[in-house]
Amino acid sequence: MNAIPLADAAALRPPARTTLAVRALLAAAALGAAVAFLLASRNPHTRSIVSLPSGANTILVLDVSASISSDTFSRIGGTLEAISRSRSRIGLVVFSDTAYEALPPGVPASDLAPLVRYFTLPPQRTPGFAPAFPTNPWTSTFTAGTKISAGLELAHTLALAQRPRPAVVLISDLDDDPNDLASLAAVTAAYQRDHVPIRVVGLNPSPADVMLFQRLLGPAAPIAQAPTLDQVPPHDVTPYPWTLVGLAIAAALALGLREAWSPRLEWGPA
């Protein structure tokens, strides 16, 4: 005999339905937390000191205009070094008053490594003479005025041609030509219209320039300070997976609560 006959079995039907609903809800919560855990664990979220969007290509827009001084060269070197150590796939746009595609989208981030030497101060070899940064490929023939809109516009065109759509990271001191501000406002509006994510890595930008870009891009595009070479860690930084811990606890808690309603009491009319 598998059930206990009861004369008032009909009175137990409402609590039974409540029990079944609670058990089903807790089972769904446990299953949902387990699925979320598996999806989150597929991406270890390893990142370099310069945060890059995970699971997507990135187009870097590097400012090499005349306003970029040797004081910020080390920050360019630190940024490129940090990104080159990541597992991302990138493209590179270089701009001054014009822009060109230096690396096509989708190349390994390690392809940036040969450029780091141009922004690395060599050790002092002659007493009394301070070392100077090596002459980079843009100093003589490309470095001129600053039109940030030119770099962003080319990156926007490249981003629209990619699937999935990459993010764009602007690396600049944000000191734009006043005559370029109207074009800059138009191209940043195009980014928002076409849902192309954009991030900014500042090279010692002035507070006024930071406020300008915050107005143009909104709070969803934070402006980070570029690291110097001595601030770049020797390896990628992997944060503690608190999200995975929380999901595991949620799944275990939901499963435990469901089992607390067991064993199921079977009953029927006499």
Asked if 48 and 237 touch (Cβ cutoff 8 Å), the reply is yes
The parent domain of residue 25 ranges over: 4-44+241-269
Question: Does 245 map to a domain?
Answer: yes
Question: Both 109 and 170 in a single domain?
Answer: yes
Regarding whether 246 and 227 lie in a shared domain, the answer is: no
Is pLDDT above 70 for 152? yes
- Strand, coil or helix: what is 27? helix
Is 259 a domain residue?
yes
Number of domains in the chain: 2
| Greatest mean pLDDT range, 80-89, 149-158, 244-253, 254-263 | 149-158
| Residue 227, domain member (yes or no) | yes
- 144 and 25 in a common domain: no
| Upper half-sphere CA count for residue 160 (Cβ side, 13 Å) | 10
In a domain, 66, yes or no: yes
Same domain flag for 203 and 257: no
Q: Does 116 lie in the same domain as 166? A: yes
Each residue's pLDDT tens digit, 55-90: 558 999 999 887 777 778 888 888 888 888 877 889
- Residues 198, 85, single domain; the answer is yes
- One domain for residues 149 and 176: yes
Alpha helices in 137-178 (DSSP H): 148-160
50 in a structural domain: no
**C-alpha span between 172 and 191 (Å, rounded):** 18
Looking at the domain assignment, is residue 253 inside a domain? yes
Claim to verify: residue 10 and residue 99 sit in the same structural domain? no
pLDDT digits (tens, 9 = 90+) for 4-38: 666 666 666 776 677 667 666 766 766 675 666 55
Please state, in angstroms and rounded to a whole number, the distance separating the CA atoms of residues 168 and 153: 11
Residue bearing tokens 């079995």? 9
| Residues 150 and 192 reside in one and the same domain | yes
CA distance 77 to 231: 11
Q: Are 108 and 31 within one domain?
A: no
Based on the domain organization, do 144 and 259 belong to the same domain?
A: no
Mean local confidence (pLDDT), 42-59: 55
Long-range residue pairs from 69-73, CB within 8 A, at least 24 positions apart, any chain: 70/132, 70/133, 71/204, 72/173, 72/203, 72/204, 72/226, 73/119, 73/121, 73/133
Q: Work out the average pLDDT over 175-181.
A: 92
State residue 46's pLDDT score. Answer: 37
Say what the pLDDT of residue 186 is: 96
Residues 97 and 167 in one domain: yes
**For position 162, which CATH number holds?**
3.40.50.410
Give me the pLDDT at residue 235, please: 47
Going by pLDDT thresholds of 50, 70 and 90, the confidence category of residue 48 is very low
Is residue 208 one of the residues assigned to a domain? yes
Tens-place pLDDT, residues 192-228 = 999 998 889 888 888 899 899 989 988 767 787 776 6
Q: Render pLDDT for 218-248 as a digit per residue (tens, 0 to 9).
A: 876 778 777 665 555 554 444 545 565 666 6
